[in-house]
Amino acid sequence: MYDYKSFILEKIKHINTSIFFNESFTNIDNYLNDVDQNNIFFLVDNKVFELHKTLFQPNKNTLLIKSTEDSKSIKNVSSLIEKILKLGGNKKSYIIGIGGGIVCDITGFIASIFMRGIRFAYVPTTVLSITDAALGGKNGVNFNHIKNLVGTINEPNFVLVDLCFLDSLKENEFNDGFAEIIKHACIASPELFKKLEKSLISYESRDLLSEILKESISIKLNIVSKDINDLTLRKILNFGHTFGHAIEAKYNFSHGNSVSLGMIYACQISNKLGYLSDEKVNRVKNLLNKFGLPVDISKINVSEILHLIEKDKKVKYNNIDFIILRDIGCAEILNIKISDLIHA
Ligand code: GLY
Q: State whether the beta carbon of 132 lies less than 6 angstroms from ligand 1.
A: yes
pLDDT digits over 263-286, tens only? Answer: 999 999 999 999 999 999 999 999
| Cβ(305)–Cβ(250) below 8 Å | yes
- What's this model's pTM, rounded to 2 decimal places? 0.95
| Cβ(203)–Cβ(196) below 8 Å | no
Q: State whether the beta carbon of 234 lies less than 6 angstroms from ligand 1.
A: yes
Query: In ligand 1, which atom is closest to the CA atom of 137?
Result: 4
Query: In ligand 1, which atom is closest to the CA atom of 234?
Result: 5
Name the residue among 141, 127, 170, 148 with its Cα closest to residue 238. Answer: 148
Mutate which of 130, 221, 234 for ligand 1 pocket (most atoms within 8 A of beta carbon): 234
pLDDT per residue rounded down to tens, the chain (344 residues): 556 677 788 889 899 999 999 999 999 999 999 999 999 999 999 999 999 999 998 888 999 999 998 999 999 999 999 999 999 999 999 999 999 999 999 999 999 999 999 999 999 999 999 999 999 999 999 998 788 899 999 999 999 999 999 999 999 999 999 999 999 999 999 999 999 999 999 989 999 999 999 999 999 999 999 999 999 999 999 999 999 999 998 998 999 999 999 999 999 999 999 999 999 999 999 999 999 999 999 989 988 898 888 877 667 767 889 999 999 999 999 998 888 887 66
Mutate which of 148, 237, 333 for ligand 1 pocket (most atoms within 8 A of beta carbon): 237
User: From residue 251, how far is each of 59, 246, 300, 321, 324 by CA, in Å?
Assistant: 41, 8, 9, 23, 23
Distance 220 CA to ligand 1 centre (A): 8
Query: In ligand 1, which atom is closest to the CA atom of 223?
Result: 5
Q: What DSSP state is assigned to residue 11?
A: P
Mutate which of 122, 126, 132, 314 for ligand 1 pocket (most atoms within 8 A of beta carbon): 132
Query: In ligand 1, which atom is closest to the CA atom of 132?
Result: 1
| Cβ(9)–Cβ(150) below 8 Å | no
What torsion do the CA atoms of 171, 181, 341, 137 make, to the nearest 10 degrees? 110
Query: In ligand 1, which atom is closest to the CA atom of 238?
Result: 2
Instruction: Give nearest CA residue, ligand 1 atom 3.
Output: 237
Distance 116 CA to ligand 1 centre (A): 23
Count of alpha carbons within 13 Å of 103, Cβ hemisphere only? 31
| Cβ(98)–Cβ(40) below 8 Å | no
Distance 237 CA to ligand 1 centre (A): 6
